[in-house]
Amino acid sequence: MKGKDIVWPGEKKKANVKAKKAVGSAASGNMGNKGSKLDKEISLTIKPKQILKIFMFILLLFGVFFLGRFSVSGDFDLSFATGNLGGLATADNQEIDVKADVANSGESNLDASEEIVLEGSKEEVKEEPKEVAKVEEPKVEAKEEAPENDILITDYNNVILALDKANVKWMDTWGKIQSVEISLKNGERGRVEPSYMIMNVRGYDLEKRIPLPTSLKTVKRGTTLKARVTVPSGFAYSEITAGNLASVPVTLILFDAAGNQMAKVEKAANLIE
């Protein structure tokens, strides 16, 4: 046939395959161009002045927030909720119970626990009441008044002392008074307590102190006591000094323990054995 090319079936298939390959290469070329755009580097410019302005703005927001809380409650609370990012939570009226076990060193199974309750920022500690030691007032025992006849008398007006006899020992030219026998009468309104006597013999400047026996140291009211009192070491005398030994004045003065004179007697005694 004139004017037309004759195409054989085998050649037609080869033409289709080439056309498909051309389309594939064109598509892969387009994909290569797109990948090269994603691989490009991007540069960012950071200005410190802008970052500082943002940071100051955030601080201003925080300041306004806490200033508002302080004006309402009068106290700052910086508690943050850990479950929310950037969220703020206040921890008013929190109660924390803390239990501590204390073991005594001397006892094996004794546990002591104490509980501290914290409310807000204030600690509330409960103390056990302290025992106050009771002070007992001293008991004052009422003194029984002594009977009138048992009152101790120290101002003497009615005590009577009498010399009944002087017992002597004669030694040829001189003698010694070994003891005296006396009577003591208490005419006072209470008891008297004599302690000792002073004895003096005429012609001698010596004053002999004679302690009284226990039986004479307390004389009750209206009582008369008699006793034989020993003269310590005796009282030596002689006729030359004392004169007539048949009648020699002997003086006895009675005193109490404080040295107050109670009574006095002077009597002529027979100093001859």
Cα gap 149→188, rounded to integer Å: 9
Adjacent-strand bridge partners of 214: none
pLDDT tens-digit readout, 111-148: 444 444 444 444 555 556 565 556 666 665 545 555 66
Is position 199 within any domain?
yes
pLDDT at 45: 72
* pLDDT band for position 13 (cuts 50, 70, 90): low
For 60, 168, 201, 203, the CA distances from 95, given in Å and listed in that order, are 32, 109, 106, 111
In a domain, 204, yes or no: yes
H-state helical runs in the chain: 9-38, 48-73, 239-242
For residue 71, being part of any structural domain is answered with no
Q: What pTM was computed for the model?
A: 0.47
223 found inside a domain = yes
CA neighbor of 225 nearest in space, from 271, 178, 267, 263: 263
User: Six-digit token pair at 136?
Assistant: 């007992």
Could you tell me the two tokens for 237?
């005398």
The number of domains in the chain is 1
CATH code of the domain containing 260: 2.60.40.10
Residue at 159 is within a domain: yes
- pLDDT for residue 227: 95
| Containing structural domain, residue 260 | 149-269
Assess if residue 74 is contained within a domain: no
Q: What is the pLDDT of residues 49-71, one digit of tens each?
A: 778 888 888 988 888 888 877 77
Residue pair 98/116 in contact by the 8 Å Cβ criterion? yes
Q: Decide if 192 is inside a domain.
A: yes
